[in-house]
Amino acid sequence: MTGPTEWGETPGVGPWEGPLPSGDDASRYDPQLLRDGDTRNVVDAYRYWTREAIVADIDRRRHPLHIAIENFGSDANIGTVVRTANAFAVHTVHIVGRRRWNRRGAMVTDRYQRLQHHDSTAGLLEFAAGAGLTVVAVDNVPGSVPLETTVLPRDCLLVFGQEGPGITPEASAGARMTVSIAQFGSTRSINAGVAAGIAMHAWIRTHADITAAW
């Protein structure tokens, strides 16, 4: 969804007006933001809060959904995946392969999202087994089942491959199932960042408490 950041406008609010916050909740506020205003890309409920306070509050409400993206070719979609994961309060985004990735697409949301790196897909699968997560690959390949008619597991790790080649054979072999996204046009595949958003929202529709959304 397009917002003020993409329109070229400055989002946010000016300096705090009225008496400064006090009481038990006062520690969540950042004195500099109260003085100068808050132009960060955060929802209004978090205006003037410190980054640590925001992360702590999201941690309290995170979903048991994990996302992984294989980054063996320096995929430019990782930032988009991180931004979407933050919007859905995903537990952790796992990046497999290269540590370096273009954070521009994350729009600074990586400051509030749990991130974890794995050197290899084998390391990711070992983590998932230890955490009790069901691994689900997302790729339009033979043998996949339609996401639209599949109920994703609640304690779930969705794995996405890099743009172009898709998920690696190792990730495919380690997945409990592979789901595909229905397409009706001429393109062979959709953008990996878009696919991740669709799959995350499919999980949200099934397992999230919609009344807790902003």
Residue 9 has what pLDDT?
Answer: 56
Q: Which residues pair with 15 in a beta bridge?
A: none
Residue 88 has what pLDDT?
Answer: 98
Token digits of residue 83: 């931004």
Cβ atoms of 172 and 130 closer than 8 Å: no
Q: Please list, in sequence order, all residues whose beta carbon lies within 8 angstroms of the beta carbon of residue 73, skipping any fewer than 6 positions away.
A: 162, 163, 164, 165
Cβ atoms of 117 and 145 closer than 8 Å: no
Going edge to edge, which strands form the sheet with 134-138? 115-118, 90-97, 63-71, 156-160, 134-138, 177-180, 145-146
Q: pLDDT (tens digit, 9 = 90+) per residue, 147-156?
A: 999 999 999 9
Q: pLDDT (tens digit, 9 = 90+) per residue, 13-54?
A: 999 999 999 999 999 999 999 999 999 999 999 999 999 999
Kind of pairing between the strands at 90-97 and 134-138 = unpaired
Class for the domain spanning 62-209:
alpha beta
The pTM (predicted TM-score) of the whole model is 0.91
> Number of H helices and number of E strands within the chain?
7, 7
* Domain spans in the chain, listed from the N-terminal domain onward: 26-59, 62-209
What is the torsional sign of CA 177, 194, 208, 101? Answer: positive
Nearest to 69 by CA among 150, 171, 142: 171
Backbone angles phi, psi at 58, to 5 degrees: -65, -40
